[in-house]
Structure 1
Amino acid sequence: MTELKIQHILTLVFLLSKGAKYNYVTITTSSLGKNIKKSQQSASKHLLELEQNNFIKRIISGRNISVKITPKGFSEMVKLSTVLQNSLDSSPSSLELEGTLVSGMGEGAYYMGLKGYTKQFKSKIGYVPFPGTLNVRLDQKIHQEAVKHLEALDGIKIKSFSDGKRTYGWVKCFSAKINNSLDCVLILLERTHHDDSIIEIISNLCIRKVGKLKDGSKISITIPIEN
């Protein structure tokens, strides 16, 4: 990809910040070492190696050193910047979760059947969900952590509402598939009694019956993620 060594990147970043793309900038190895959190000896070695590889030009005058980044050095930093930016901007095409089907506390059917929710479900996801939610326990920490990625995404928002006596929290919906075959929606709730290991899923069908699933069944959930 590039000849540039990892240990030299911070040195070039520091030099760029001082204007060394176009001009010679005067530094000392002690000030450079302090800024890149390396010893003076390491800073001196970095400059020597960068010069030997034609990433910088140096003019030495006593303890002061004037340094300018060469076109080659700048070009390598641009390449690195492009790779980093592409990596930071990218996201997985789907989120993959694995877990075990467990019984809930029976509250899902009540809450998901409230008129304030059902009207919004009908208009926003296209159907009124089958009564109740499918509860899946994420047995591995990596999958529990992966769900947190969804918290930063918009999803399809079912707004909170009040029936005059109490207020019911919002619901965020994410299209998903169970075992790569059954269409469903994973929901994140503003208010829930579950801990981070439990996720809830809704569908227009009884997933347990259609998928021939029962408590203890191992299932996978795939959630497409838009880039």
Structure 2
Amino acid sequence: MTELKIQHILTLSYLLSKGAKHNYVSITTSSLGKNIKKSQQAASKHLLELEQNQFIERIINGRNISVKITSKGFSEMVKLSAILKKSLESLPSFVELKGTLVSGMGEGAYYMGLSGYTKQFKSKIGYVPFPGTLNVRLDQKIYQEAIKQFDTLDGVKIESFSDGMRTYGWVKCFQAKLNNSINCKLIILERTHHDDSIIELISKVCIRKSGKLKEGSKISIKIPIPS
């Protein structure tokens, strides 16, 4: 039995969108090529190969081409859809990061203790965090790249504010769990002195003490993806 080739999936998808499951639809190779972002010659080849493998039926009348997807072609697309659906539904619902605990410059305690932040923390995440942040260095590139997606995800946002002398940037909070035991929040800052390899965590408790952590401790963090 001939299996559907990857390069033909877009062509069949386009034909399905035009109603070719039940009807012969009129197309041109130029319009097909434009819609699947291939050349006219490639589109023509796709149609020929699909017909030869009995995934479509064609009726050619001069320059007019009418195409209908066969039951075999539709069945293959249904199988593909089922595989994709299963794969998408089995996606991990969290991001896992690994790194090393490093000491910061002590600024976290100052900033997280500002009333403009603490009032919002209390109302939006339900508590005022323990003074300071836990700094984790993401040692591997894969984790440094993975963290970037949180820049565009919606977390609990602590709005920026001004004390009359300077403006303090916003903070986005994401639920997280450290070493499978300590509930905490990953925070994404509008302004930071750290490079992309350093992430910061806050919690209701002193994470270092609760987790019996010290400089150089290996850290694992799981962050559920917001729905």
- TM-score w.r.t. the length of structure 1 is 0.82
C-alpha separation between the residues in 1 aligned to 2:33 and 2:191? 50
> Structure 1 residues 89 and 150, CA, compared in 2 at 3 Å: closer, same or farther?
farther
Other-structure match for 1:96 = 96
Cα distance, 1:66 vs structure 2 = 3.4
* SS across alignment from 2:184: strand
Partner of 2:201: 201
> 1:98 Cα deviation (Å)?
0.4
Aligned residue pair count: 224
- Counterpart of 1:47 in structure 2 is 47
Q: Is the 8 A contact 1:120 1:158 kept in 2?
A: yes
1:57 aligns with 2:53: no
Report if aligned partners of 2:154, 2:226 keep a CA contact under 8 Å in 1.
no
Q: CA deviation at 1:146?
A: 1.2
The match for 1:136 is 136
Consecutive unaligned residues in structure 2, runs of 5 or more: none
| Equivalent residue number for residue 66 of structure 1 | 66
Aligned to 1:23: 24
Q: What is the Cα deviation at residue 182 of structure 1?
A: 1.5
SS at match of 1:108: helix
Q: Using a 3 Å threshold, how does the CA distance of structure 1 residues 90 and 196 change in structure 2: closer, same or farther?
A: farther
Contact 2:176–2:184 (CA<8 Å) still a contact in 1?
A: yes
1:1-227 matches, cutoff 5 A = 3-16=3-16, 20-21=20-21, 22-27=23-28, 37=38, 40=41, 43=43, 45-61=45-61, 65-77=65-77, 80-81=80-81, 84=84, 92-227=92-227
Q: How far 1:39 sits from its partner (Å)? A: 7.6
Shift of 1:183: 1.7
In structure 2, relative to structure 1, the CA distance for the partners of 1:106 and 1:25 (3 Å cut) is same
Identity %: 78
Between the aligned partners of 1:191 and 1:180, the Cα distance in structure 2 is: 29
1:127 and 1:72 map into 2 onto residues whose CA distance is 59
Q: Where in structure 1 are there 5+ consecutive unaligned residues? A: none
Contact 1:60–1:66 at 8 Å: present in 2 too?
Answer: yes
- CA shift, 1:61, in A, is 4.4
Distance change (3 Å), C-alpha of 1:116 and 1:27 = closer
- The two structures have a TM-score, normalised by structure 2, of 0.82
What RMSD in Å do the two structures reach over aligned CA positions? 3.0
Q: Which moved more, 1:122-131 or 1:177-186?
A: 122-131
Shift of 1:23: 2.6
